[in-house]
């Protein structure tokens, strides 16, 4: 079933911003979400510092639209800089530090999923389709890891105060609102593409960076995981499965929070996946309706990765009431 386009004939209505009682940002829609970023308005985001961040104007450009094909991404270039953290390693697993580079290298040390403060030496090795980087751990150990398991280390406080990250969030919401794949492709992680999780317990679906611009038009059926508590597979296109869930959140006066996952009544807690501990995120939360089903709340987290100190949208994860 193709979702109904909720965005037609609504582009002339003005965005209203209201501070929610819990300190988050309430996005009010007379009929339609137009844009978060307005030059004369400041966006208040819940963070450890509760900072006020100035909003910025945006600029977009059209590109040719390829067809989406969610296959694993491949890094084409990589230039390490700054301080790094481990990413993409489940809590129960470890990342092997090896010497020399490659999966056949001797294990120097085991790194946990949440190790931060890692220094890049600047040395890289191209091994087939993968790129390995030499690092030094906080305890002084030196060796090689796959660059896909390293991400630039940015604190939550720095992220929540970064006006550029808010601009990327604005681009993200606006691209969904208008189904503009060209706009989305400009702010998606150029190395990882866009990672999507229908629910936090479901596996990743990866849309390569060069296919993101066609995501709203592609009708290819994909598997998004399983419904909670059963073996029912979630199958369909992004347009059929993911977009309606995003619209249900964005178009219903959500609250924007930085670094936390707002939730409601649920049989199991809404947990941030440990493998993304080093990624910062904004959460867009639509509470359950007053007097309605307490389980009918929804949150989408938009996670970011910094590349050469610039923030890019990397991951969106869906959280909802689980009965």
Domains of the chain: 16-70+156-320 (no CATH), 83-152 (2.30.30.40)
pTM given for the model: 0.78
Per-residue pLDDT, 236:
97
pLDDT at 80: 65
Q: Residue 74's pLDDT is what?
A: 33
pLDDT in tens, the chain (323 residues): 333 222 222 232 323 333 232 334 544 433 233 333 332 223 333 333 333 232 233 333 322 322 323 333 333 345 666 899 999 999 999 999 999 999 999 999 999 999 999 999 999 999 998 999 999 999 999 999 999 999 999 999 999 999 999 999 999 999 999 999 999 999 999 999 999 999 999 999 999 999 999 999 999 999 999 987 777 999 999 999 999 999 999 999 899 999 999 999 998 889 999 999 999 999 999 999 999 999 999 999 999 999 999 999 999 999 999 86
Tokens of 213: 């611009």
Do 140 and 131 contact (CB within 8 A), yes or no?
no
């Amino acid at each position: 079933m193709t979702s109904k386009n909720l965005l037609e004939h609504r582009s002339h209505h003005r965005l209203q911003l209201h501070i929610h009682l819990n300190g988050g940002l309430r996005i009010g829609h007379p009929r339609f979400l137009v844009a978060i970023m307005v030059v004369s308005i400041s966006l208040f985001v819940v963070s450890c510092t509760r900072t006020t961040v100035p909003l910025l104007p945006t600029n977009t450009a059209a590109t040719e639209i390829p067809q989406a094909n969610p296959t694993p991404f491949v890094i084409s270039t990589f230039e390490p800089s700054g301080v790094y953290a481990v990413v993409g390693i489940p809590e129960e697993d470890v990342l092997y530090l090896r010497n020399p580079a490659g999966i056949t290298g001797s294990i120097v040390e085991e790194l946990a999923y949440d190790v931060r403060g890692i220094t890049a030496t600047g040395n890289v090795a191209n091994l087939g389709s993968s790129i390995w980087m030499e690092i030094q751990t906080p305890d002084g150990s030196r060796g090689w890891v796959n660059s896909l398991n390293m991400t630039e280390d940015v604190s939550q406080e720095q992220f929540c105060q970064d006006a550029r990250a808010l601009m990327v969030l604005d681009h993200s919401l606006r691209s969904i609102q208008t189904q503009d794949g060209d706009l989305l492709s400009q702010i998606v992680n150029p190395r990882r593409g866009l990672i999507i999780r229908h629910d936090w317990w479901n596996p990743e679906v990866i849309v390569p960076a060069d296919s993101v611009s066609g995501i709203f038009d592609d009708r290819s059926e994909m598997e998004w995981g399983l419904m909670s508590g059963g073996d029912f597979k979630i199958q369909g296109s992004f347009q059929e499965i993911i977009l309606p869930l995003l619209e249900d959140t964005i178009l219903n006066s959500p609250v924007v929070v930085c670094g936390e996952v707002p939730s409601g009544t649920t049989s199991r807690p809404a947990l941030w996946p440990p493998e993304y501990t080093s990624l910062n995120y904004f959460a867009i939360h639509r509470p359950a309706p007053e007097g309605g089903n307490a389980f009918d709340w929804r949150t989408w987290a938009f996670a970011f990765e910094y590349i050469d100190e610039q923030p890019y949208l990397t991951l969106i994860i869906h959280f909802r009431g689980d009965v």
